[in-house]
Amino acid sequence: EVQLVESGGGLIQPGGSLTLSCAVSGFAVSSNYMSWVRQAPGKGLEWVSIIYAGGNTYYADSVKGRFTISRDSSKNTLYLQMSSLRAEDTAFYYCARADTQAFDYWGQGTLVTVSS
Amino acid sequence: SYVLTQPPSVSVAPGKTARITCGGNDIGSKRVHWYRQKPGQAPVLVLYYDSDRPLGIPERFSGFNAGSAATLTLSGVEAGDEADYYCQVWDSSADVWVFGGGTKLTVL
């Protein structure tokens, strides 16, 4: 059975840093395209970042230079390191697998709140 | 950057057909994917590559994409279809994934 479980969310002050994790079972993170998608409370979906099976990484302009996506094949886990956090980064963060350009498996999300 | 435009809301009576559009510049040249999201839940893929259904998605869901708009069609709408629906494409020119703003489907 495929499962994606995010963790690491919480309350963080503006300017702070936080790392999210996404533990995956049912397929290999390193063999798939893995992504982070976020959703501010009451708002729509926003793509954040993706890491290709080959290791290439891409980011939305809104997080470029502040967020870093990575993976650990030994733990089959995806990460999102977030720094210089802003109030507008407040959102539920979902990890998802990208297959044939679409996101076919999603986690349940973890909430990041940036506030003083 | 590439922009996808969806109507904020669509309303339909039970048993009728709902159509949700997703507009974008020459979107017909891209592959469009659709998601359903119910309150408090993660999104679920309901159509990929314009019109293909993942396992478990009923035939009531269909899609079409040409020109400047893609359409998700949901026939025989049920109360359980109330949700937010999002379209999404991969913009290969910039290697970015783009979502539409979402459409809230209300079953009257």
Q: What are phi and psi of A88, to 5 degrees?
A: -75, -5
Q: What is the DSSP letter of A88?
A: G
Residue A100 reports pLDDT greater than 90: no
Chain A residue closest in CA terms to B30:
A101
Q: Quote the tokens at residue B26.
A: 């020459």
Q: What average pLDDT score do residues A86-106 get?
A: 95
For chain B, give the mean pLDDT: 96
Enumerate the residues of chain B whose CB falls inside 8 A of the CB of residue A46. Answer: 99
User: pLDDT digit string (tens) for A18-45?
Assistant: 999 999 999 999 999 999 999 999 999 9
Out of B90, B95, B101, whose CB is closest to A44?
Answer: B101
Q: Helix, strand or coil for residue B90?
A: strand
Residue A65 reports pLDDT greater than 80: yes
Confidence at residue A99, expressed as pLDDT on a 0 to 100 scale: 86
User: pLDDT digit string (tens) for B12-25?
Assistant: 999 999 999 999 99
Q: Taking a contact as any Cβ pair under 8 Å apart, which residues of chain A between 3 and 42 contact chain B?
A: 35, 37
Model confidence at B78, in pLDDT bands (50, 70, 90)?
very high
Compute CA B90 distance to the chain's CA centroid, rounded to the nearest angstrom: 14
Q: What average pLDDT score do residues A44-61 get?
A: 96
Contact A106 B42 (CB under 8 A): yes
Confidence at residue B1, expressed as pLDDT on a 0 to 100 scale: 87
- What would the DSSP string read from start to end of B3-30? --B--SEEEE-TTS-EEEEEE-TTGGGS
Q: Give one word for A109, left, alpha or beta, with left for phi > 0 and alpha for psi -120 to 50.
A: left
Q: Which helix (H) or strand (E) holds B72?
A: strand B69-74
- What would the DSSP string read from start to end of A46-57? EEEEEE-TTS-E
Q: What average pLDDT score do residues B50-74 get?
A: 97
